[in-house]
Copies of this chain bind each other. A is one copy, B any other.
């Protein structure tokens, strides 16, 4: 197997952290986003949606989408479990994974893509009004997550799951997006520090 990766983008980082938590190493092929390699014909032939990461299996089958890749990894290396064991736990983790992805990571990414000068070529056209509309959404999501973390150490309950990975990656992506995490969100900040302290965070 091999993983098409970039150290600049949040989605490959989700897979790298997931693999580190599993203790699994997969050879990587670096895709240079700054050179728009993901939009070139060669990469488009691998994934016409032009997104990374991609996991390529030994028979040439390719799996795109970070969470699809993580699910596949979980089936091959079930321990430690990161997607849940019971029906309700699986649904709860899936709910939080999606909420953190769609309501937190996505708005933060929209702010970056539509406001940062470095993204002008990659995100064409940039729509500054769309960046502005997403900034308060990201902050609102942070406040909701802070409240959810009031009574538990991890976002889906007592233990670390794939949903926490999405949360850490989203919060770390707030810095290049120039969104300051409000100091009063003590639960959120405590959670982030816990996640950052795990060895997997630097994967």
Bound together, the chains give a CA A130 to CA B87 distance in angstroms of 38
- A63 within 8 A of partner (CB): yes
Task: Give the Cβ gap from A83 to chain B, nearest Cβ, in Å.
Answer: 10
- Decide if A98 touches B63 in the complex (CB within 8 Å): no
Residues of B within 8 A of A48 (CB): 144, 147-148
A187 → B minimal CB distance (Å): 14
Contact status B61-A88, CB under 8 Å? yes
The reply to whether B68 and A87 contact each other, CB–CB distance below 8 Å, is no
- Complex: how many Å from CA A181 to CA B144? 38
At the interface, is chain A mostly helix, strand, loop or mixed?
helix
Q: Tell me, yes or no, whether A75 is within 8 Å of chain B by CB.
A: yes
The verdict on A69 contacting B49 (CB below 8 Å), with A127-B130, A130-B129, A133-B127 known, is no
Is residue A13 within 8 Å, beta carbon to beta carbon, of the partner chain?
Answer: no
Q: Please tell me if the beta carbons of A68 and B98 are within 8 angstroms of each other in the complex.
A: yes
The contact string, 1 if C-beta is below 8 Å from chain B, for chain A 56-77, is 0100010111011101100110
Residue A95 lies at the interface, judged by CB distance under 8 Å to chain B? yes
Instruction: For chain A, residues 79 to 120, give those with C-beta under 8 angstroms from any C-beta of chain B.
Output: 87-88, 90-92, 94-95, 98-99, 103
Chain A, interface size category, equals 20 to 34
Does any Cβ of B come within 8 Å of A125's Cβ? yes
A127 → chain B closest CB, angstroms: 5
* Residue from A48, A69, A141 whose CB has the most chain B CB atoms within 10 Å: A48
Q: Report 25 cross-chain contacts, Cβ distance below 8 Å, ordered by A residue.
A: A48-B144, A48-B147, A48-B148, A49-B99, A49-B144, A63-B91, A63-B92, A64-B95, A65-B95, A65-B98, A65-B99, A67-B94, A68-B91, A68-B92, A68-B94, A71-B90, A71-B91, A71-B94, A72-B87, A72-B90, A76-B87, A127-B127, A127-B133, A130-B130, A130-B133
